[in-house]
Amino acid sequence: MNYEHITQVFRRLALLAGDKIMEIYDADDFDVQLKSDNSPVTVADQAADDLISAGLRAAFPDIALVTEEQASSHDIQARDFIIVDPLDGTKEFINRRGDFTVNIALVENGKAVRGVVYAPAKGRLFYTQPDGTAVEEMGDLNKDTAGLVAPLKVSNPDNDALMVVASKSHRDQATDDYIKQYNVKDMTSAGSSLKFCLIATGEADLYPRLGPTMEWDTAAGHAVLMGAGGTIVRFDDLTPLVYGKEAFRNPHFIAYAPGVRLKAS
């Protein structure tokens, strides 16, 4: 794989998709529909997906592409593929809360190895560099030339005073009960893949997810977190979370900085 090319293309497409999303976000109104699973979808989801998919297929015609908005891609069986959530956090988008992201990731042999997470409403761009390390880019975010970047590194957590992040739209009692097993200094809520990025930056130590997610929800954030020294494990047996599973469904999982002493599920 030419990781330099992958980094450039992923970054540029995420920024372009972000611009398209914000055009719709800033409009007076936009249509919201329900998919077959009753999850919401907007014209922004589809517009971003069209742009990203076209760009990826042109740049990487020989790599399988899986994207949330194209049901036909959900039947792909491959160990190596690109996986996309063109607008992760649609509920945050609809409610104009800003915690939504563009997610693009490369999976190789079941591992999320490269990825970009862009939060256009917040102006925050996280991605893996060609060598796999994770950064946050600062400044004006020029689409053709990367600017100044800050390396990301997970925290050295204090297990007597952990910083915990949880889902803003999918919080439940099971998650709260699990979090109560830890000594928590503070807890914050965030939407979309920003939760992984908060651990990658050291702003949080632990993110347990005891609810349904799909691989396109997690792969890009997983790559960024891994590039910052973090990890994600299955909730049931604490083995690494892998990709290319049946129907691209994830089990419950825990994302964390490695110094966290995990509690039994």
Where is the binding site, in residues? 68, 85, 87-90, 217
Contact status, residue 194 vs residue 136, Cβ threshold 8 Å: no
Side chain identity at residue 187, one-letter code: M
CA 119, chain centre distance (Å): 10
Contacts of 72 (CB under 8 A, 6+ apart): none
Q: Which residues are annotated as a binding site for Mg(2+)?
A: 68, 85, 87-88, 217
Burial class of 149 by CB neighbour count within 10 A (0 to 12, 13 to 18, 19+): middle
User: How many C-alpha atoms does 245 have within 13 Å on its Cβ side?
Assistant: 17
Contact status, residue 225 vs residue 200, Cβ threshold 8 Å: yes
Rounded Cα distance between 7 and 98, Å, is 25
Side chain identity at residue 96, one-letter code: R
Q: Which residues are annotated as a binding site for substrate?
A: 68, 87-90, 217
Contact status, residue 73 vs residue 65, Cβ threshold 8 Å: yes
Phi, psi of 24 (to 5 degrees): -80, -40
Rounded Cα distance between 69 and 87, Å, is 10
